[in-house]
Amino acid sequence: MARKFFVGGNFKMNGTIESVKNIVKNLNDAQLDPNVEVVIAPPALYLLLVRENLNPNIQVAAQNVYDKPNGAFTGEISVSQLKDSNINWTILGHSERRTILGESDEVVASKTKFATDGGVSVIWCCGESLEEREAGQTISVIEKQLKAVAAKIDNWKNVVIAYEPIWAIGTGKVASVEQAQEVHAAIRSWLKANISEQVAEETRILYGGSVNGKNCKDLAKEKDIDGFLVGGASLKPEFVEIINSNQ
């Protein structure tokens, strides 16, 4: 069975009530490819606003979730609170969480297990720095990240992988189509060798790294690129064009 194309929009720490409402209206009014799964991730403050106003066919994601059921964890959101709010997705392991906020591979893996066990699907991010790429360590870095999460989870059905080269996030630099496809193919090969052929075939692998309306169509044609995790462009009208790039 063909993997369903997937486009996620990560708003990061951007937006106001007015601008988020405009994004929601634009998506509600747009003609979106019905064969694409769309998930948007506004800042936590606006999760309920978005969920209550967005077309129910579009899912909503948190940008983070904690790996404890509840309790004295100031500033965190639990899996059960997301479920209670009809938020069925979360982004985990984004490079900004890893590099700026110091989340280790093990912390990301623990959060991924807690989310998937609790019925929240995960956009799980991986990627290498410019120094690591230039040192020829891209695949080894990503395999290390994959090993950490594979040690924690058994069920991959609710996991979408997003390859996000750190050097291409918010920089305007984009991995070439060939560079992106090469890493996506390596991730799929790792899944086949270390998890199962079925997981390798069924798991969607997204590209995220300055995706925009100009480069999305060429990237979407690649065999192992199953969609995108979009940053800044998800705040703009061109997000619709990216969603429809696989037509």
Q: Which two tokens stand for residue 206?
A: 């997204």
Contact 115, 90 (CB under 8 A): yes
Q: What is the DSSP string of 143-206?
A: HHHHHHHHTT-S--TTEEEEE--GGGSSSS----HHHHHHHHHHHHHHHHHHT-HHHHHH--EE
Ramachandran quadrant class, 234 (left: phi over 0; alpha: psi -120 to 50; beta: rest): alpha
Instruction: Please confirm, yes or no, whether 164 is among the known catalytic residues.
Output: yes
**Global pTM value:** 0.97
Query: Which is the catalytic residue, given 96, 132, 164, 184?
Result: 164
pLDDT in tens, 92-108: 999 999 999 999 999 99
Query: Which is the catalytic residue, given 94, 96, 103, 128?
Result: 94
Q: Which two tokens stand for residue 11?
A: 């708003």
Domain boundaries, the chain: 5-243
Spatial CB neighbours of 236, under 8 Å, sequence gap ≥ 6: none
CATH fourth-level superfamily of 5-243: Aldolase class I (3.20.20.70)
Instruction: Please confirm, yes or no, whether 94 is among the known catalytic residues.
Output: yes
pLDDT in tens, 47-71: 999 999 999 999 999 999 999 999 9
